[in-house]
Structure 1
C-alpha cells in the first residue's frame, strides 16, 4: 500500500470515528452557533454595529471552537494503536498527515455550518464574499495541521485539552488576521493576495513542521 493510500485510509478511519461519536459536528457546532448568538443578545439590535463586528466574531468562534474539533478525543491514538500502525508499515508522517486531513475536512464542515448562522444574526455586507471560497479551506487546513501537531505533542498528558489550545492559539493569529482582512480588503477594492499569502505561509510552515517533527513526536508518544 502506497503512502498516499495509507494517508487516505487513516483520514477515513478518523472520519468514521467522528461519524459514530458526533463529537465535532453534533456537539461543537451547536456551541459555536450559541456563541455567535450571545453577542446580539448582549448588544441588542444595533444593526450597523452587528454588521461591522460580525465577520470578525465569526472567525474568532471558528478559531476557538475549531480547536475543540482538532483536539477531539477520537483524534487520539493509544500507544498500542501506534505500535500496530508501525507494524503495518505506516510512517509517523503519514499517520499525522492523515489525521490533519481529517481534521481539516471536519473544520471546513464546521465553518460552512456556521456561515448561515452568522449571516442570519449579523447580516454582513456581501462584498468580498467570493474570496471565502479560498479563505475557508486555507483556515481549515492551517488549523488542522496546527491542532494535529499540538495534539501529538500533548498526547498522553492529563491537560491535553488545555495545553493544546495554549500551543495553537498564538500560532493561529496570522490565520485569524488573514481570514478577516482578505475579504475586507477585497470589499474595499484592494488586492487580498498579501493576506492569502500570509495564510498559505502558515499552512506550509505547519506542514513542514509536521514532516520534520512527526518521527520525534512519535518517539515521545
Structure 2
C-alpha cells in the first residue's frame, strides 16, 4: 500500500473515531434530517398521491442540504497544531483531503440509509426500481463528501466557516441532486438509468480531480 493511500485511510479512521465520540453527524444532523422529511407531509396534508410524487425529490433535497452539514461538522476541524504535525509527517495535502472525504462518504452513506425508511413510511413512494438505490447512495455520498471537503478547506480559518461552507457546496452539488432524482425517475418507469449513473460518476471523478489539483495550493494559501 502506497504512502498517500495509507495516510488517507489512517486520517479517515481518525475522523470516524472522532465522530463516534462526538456523534455530531448521526446523533444530531440525522434526526434533524428526519424532522425535515416529516414537515412536508404536515404542510401538504393527506394528499397521498401528491406525497408519493414529491417524496423521492424531497428525500434527495434533504440529503443534499443536511448532508453538506455532515461534511462541515465541527468534529472534523483540524487545528493549526494538527495541520503542522501532518506536514512534518510528510502527509500530502491531497491525501489529507482524501481522508476527510472518505470519512465523510462513510457517514453520508449511513445518513442516507437512516433516512430511507423514514421517507418510505412518510411518503409511501412507488418502490419500483428501488435496487438502483444501491449504486446511487454511495455515488451521491462520494460526490457530496468530496465537495464538502473541498469547500470546507476553502472556508477554513474563516469565522463563518459552518455557514460559508454549505453556501459554497450546495449550488455546486445541484448536478448530484439532478442525477439522483432522474436515476430513480427512470427506474420507476422500468428503464435502465445508466446515462444518469455515468453522469453522476463523472461528476464524482471531476470533483476528485479538482481536489487533487488544488489541495496543495489551498494549504499554502492558508
Instruction: With the length of structure 2 as denominator, give the TM-score of the two structures.
Output: 0.97
> Are 1:169 and 2:170 matched, yes or no?
yes
Contact 2:25 2:107 in 1 (8 A): yes
Equivalent-residue separation in structure 1 for 2:189 and 2:201 (angstroms): 22
Aligned to 2:159: 158
Structure 1: give runs of 5+ residues left out of the alignment. Answer: none
Structure 2: give runs of 5+ residues left out of the alignment. Answer: none
Aligned to 1:8: 9
Give the superposition deviation at 1:193: 1.2
* Cα-to-partner distance string for 1:126-156 (whole Å, 9 max, x where unaligned): 1111000010000000000000000001000
Contact 2:128 2:190 in 1 (8 A): no
Superposition pairs for residues 25-40 of structure 1, below 5 Å?
25-40=26-41
How many residue pairs end up in the alignment? 221
Give the superposition deviation at 1:184: 1.1
Give the superposition deviation at 1:190: 2.5
Equivalent-residue separation in structure 2 for 1:219 and 1:17 (angstroms): 26
4+ residue runs over 3 A deviation: none
> Are 1:63 and 2:50 matched, yes or no?
no
Aligned to 2:90: 89
Q: What secondary structure does 2:192 align onto?
A: coil
Aligned to 1:107: 108
Aligned to 1:131: 132
Aligned to 2:42: 41
RMSD: 1.0
Choose 1-10 or 158-167, whichever is displaced more: 1-10
